[in-house]
Each structure stands twice: as C-alpha cells, then as structure tokens.
Chains A and B, each alone.
Chain A
Amino acid sequence: DVKVTQSSRYLVKRTGEKVFLECVQDMDHENMFWYRQDPGLGLRLIYFSYDVKMKEKGDIPEGYSVSREKKERFSLILESASTNQTSMYLCASTHGGSYEQYFGPGTRLTVT
C-alpha cells in the first residue's frame, strides 16, 4: 500500500513563527504536492515538485516556500505564519503521468 505520512495531525503556532510541515512518501513517486483545504474553497495547490530540488508554484504560493532535498520528502515552510494561514494542509504524491494522487491524512494548522 502506498503510504503518505505527514509529521503532525494538529499544530498550533503563533503569528510570526516559522513553521515546517513535513511529508514523506514510501512509493518512490517523482511528483509531490502541497495543498490547503478550506471550507467552500476545495483543495488549492500551493507548490509541487516533479523531482528532487525541483519545485513549481501552484495557485496560491504567496507566504509559502518548499524544499525537496530527497525524493521521498517534501517540506512546506511558512516563513512567518499569519492567521490567514490557519487551514488544513494536505500532501500528496504520484508517479509521473498518473492522475491518481495519494494523499496524506492532513495537518490542521492553527495560527493564533
């Protein structure tokens, strides 16, 4: 079974803190994605990566950065957390060319 794990299920941070969200997949997938999920807005793509050290902006990259130093690991970084970044963050991975993305369970981040 494909497994995508995220470092935390719940996270509470203060405004201005630097936040790291980690995602690890065990299926040697080339592509990895970070989304945020908000009620009424669906899943919105923040960043994605199609290879180690490669990254591309998604639809809402502002306020976020990413890092992919190893194929299995994709990190989302909030340089200076703000309250409008309170959300559910979902990581996903897939083989190149597949439309099936495998999602982690999500991290619910609250910024106070």
Chain B
Amino acid sequence: QQQVKQSPQSLIVQKGGISIINCAYENTAFDYFPWYQQFPGKGPALLIAIRPDVSEKKEGRFTISFNKSAKQFSLHIMDSQPGDSATYFCAARYTGTASKLTFGTGTRLQVTL
C-alpha cells in the first residue's frame, strides 16, 4: 500500500503564482521528509528536506510546511516560474534503515506564462 499519499496528480499555475503540493503519511517510523524535483529526461534530484520536529523550512522560493499531529506536509513554491515546471515527489525516510525512502506518486507541475 502507498505509505505516502500525494496530491494533486497534476497542477497548472500561472507565472508568479503559488504552487502547493500536499502529502500525507501513515507510518510514524519516518525520520526525514525530503522533496525531489525531476525534469524530463533526468533522474530526480533532492530539492529540500525537513525533520519531523520542525514545522517549516524555507529555501529561497521553496517552503516545506510540516504538521506532525496531522501526519501531513506540503511544498509551497512561491512566485512560480516556467523553469519550475517539473514533476515533484515527496518522500519519507524510514528510521534506522540504509537511507531507504518511500515516495509519493508525484505531481506534474506546469507553470504557464
């Protein structure tokens, strides 16, 4: 079963707008929640990550919000740009494993002019 549920499956945002992607998890044995960004023809690459004892982390235009009690976290992309058009995956790392991750199903983001 899907350990991390991600929505929406696709998203269209106008340039300058805010893109929001949501994820929810069930297993509490996760200790890190990274987000990966994948451009066409490339493998995913780490974008930003958060620990469960932190409620928010910001890096430039990208912010993760984390709600531990609700077991939900989200990625916000402020001032979205056409260059942000990509597929985004949320993930969760299993505690005490060899960096094993479980991924969400992905969100294809398109930023229009």
Contacts and interface: CB of A to CB of B under 8 A. Distances in A.
Interface residues of B, number: 23
A42 B34 contact: no
A101 B105 contact: no
B21 interface: no
Nearest to B44: A103
10 contacts: A31-B99, A33-B100, A42-B106, A43-B89, A56-B98, A90-B43, A97-B99, A99-B91, A100-B34, A101-B101
A101 B106 CA distance: 16
A58 B99 CA distance: 12
A109 to B, nearest CB: 15
Interface in B54-113: 89, 91, 93, 98-106
Interface string A32-48: 01010000111111001
Given A103-B44, A105-B43, A45 B98 contact: no
Contacts of B49: 99-100
Contacts of A97: 99
A65 to B, nearest CB: 18
Interface residues of A, number: 31
Contacts of A33: 100
Given A40-B9, A43-B89, A99-B93, A105 B100 contact: no
A108 to B, nearest CB: 10
A99 B98 contact: no
Contact of B98 (A43, A48, A105, A106): A48
B43 A106 contact: yes
